[in-house]
Amino acid sequence: MTPLQNDTFLRACLRQPTDYTPVWMMRQAGRYLPEYRATRAKAGSFLDLCMSPELATEVTLQPLERFPLDAAILFSDILTVPGAMDLGLRFAEGEGPVFERPVRSAADVDRLFVPDPEGELRYVMDAVRSIRRALNGRVPLIGFAGSPWTLATYMVEGGGSKEFARIKGMLYGEPATLARLLDLLARSVTAYLNAQVAAGAQALMIFDTWGGVLTPRDYRNFSLNYMAQIVSGLTREAEGRRVPVILFTKGGGQWLETMAEAGADVLGVDWTTELGDARRRVGHKVALQGNMDPSVLYADPERIRAEVHYILDSFGPGSGHVFNLGHGIHQHVEPEHAAAFVAAVHELSRAYHR
């Protein structure tokens, strides 16, 4: 593999010295970019775009052509793993993901299987290999997966949800059935992420989008424990260097101390937690990623710059911070505002690394 020209992101993940704070954006290859919209139209559908290694490579690199980002992230979807379990996944226009055969009973769980990353999910591994070749050492490539709890919410609900009635009904009414589902998903995600590393991913991120809807006790038992199971089974060295693991629970700021014990190198933090407080709470156990409110990008560049400075100041001097948004970039953000955000991080952060 081609040597990395810019490893600032990887060093920050491991709390090693850097010249500036690296930055990338969750959902950085997305609908806010006109070139992405053109490629998606060419693909025909979101799922077709995800399943084409050539087009997935194209859109992964699009934001890097516009902005001097410090990492690329695989273009895919968190639902690829359950989508490979013969549940009839489709993405309905205006509705989001839908599973035609949701998982509602112990018998439904019995029919599930761990997908083969080089079989049912070969298209993702081919995309990872293709993206690494296309990056040619420019910046590291982040692979990712959804957390078992988050994947289970979609599988049991049959799609997106606001109330999570079915999955919480299973949690409280049939906890043993849910535990079997989560264990199968943990084993599936572990195999999937390790295959991404074998294919060329240089860092990994676990997205726990819906962990924040749980009680503290249920978060530990039904989300964090299974993410810790995944982390313990991951490949942590490849190509002669550490493969950092980022753990992100949206709405999980109240549990940072517990999350820091899960074995990840980095904790993602959303905008509802003060970054300086998060740093004091986790100490030197992990690096932190985040955490600007994505809505700030609707503001003018000077306001964006001011918010970047506030967050850098909150974290304080030293390494161990990967700048990011507190969640994915919104589809109606102007690309010029994203450019102003990246430029502000690179310029203003150098004063914190002397």
Q: Look up 154 and say whether it is catalytic.
A: yes
Q: Could you report the per-residue pLDDT of 107-148, keeping only the tens digit for each?
A: 999 999 999 999 999 999 999 999 999 999 999 999 999 999
Q: Looking at 20, 32, 36, 154, which residue is catalytic?
A: 154
Q: Looking at 77, 126, 208, 270, which residue is catalytic?
A: 77
Assigned domain for 1 exists: no
Assigned domain for 282 exists: yes
Q: Could you report the per-residue pLDDT of 191-246, keeping only the tens digit for each?
A: 999 999 999 999 999 999 999 999 999 999 999 999 999 999 999 999 999 999 99
**Residues contacting residue 162 through CB under 8 Å, at least 6 positions apart:** none
Question: In this predicted structure, what is the pLDDT of residue 3?
Answer: 87
Task: Name the strand (E) or helix (H) holding 208.
Answer: strand 203-208
Of 6-15, 39-48, 254-263, 335-344, where does mean pLDDT reach its minimum? 39-48
Q: Looking at 11, 40, 279, 305, which residue is catalytic?
A: 40
Question: In this predicted structure, what is the pLDDT of residue 92?
Answer: 75
Assigned domain for 248 exists: yes
- Would you give the DSSP letter of residue 3? P
Assigned domain for 209 exists: yes
Q: Look up 303 and say whether it is catalytic.
A: no
Q: Which of 24, 20, 49 is nearest to 202 (CA)?
A: 24
Residue 1 has pLDDT above 80, yes or no: no
Which range marks the domain in which residue 246 is found? 8-352
Question: In this predicted structure, what is the pLDDT of residue 327?
Answer: 96
Question: In this predicted structure, what is the pLDDT of residue 141?
Answer: 98
Question: In this predicted structure, what is the pLDDT of residue 124?
Answer: 98
Q: What is the CATH number of the domain that holds 163?
A: 3.20.20.210
Q: Look up 77 and say whether it is catalytic.
A: yes
Residue 94 has pLDDT above 80, yes or no: no
Contact 204, 243 (CB under 8 A): yes
Question: In this predicted structure, what is the pLDDT of residue 93?
Answer: 73
Q: Look up 40 and say whether it is catalytic.
A: yes
Q: How many independent structural domains does the chain possess?
A: 1
CB atoms near residue 65 (< 10 Å): 8
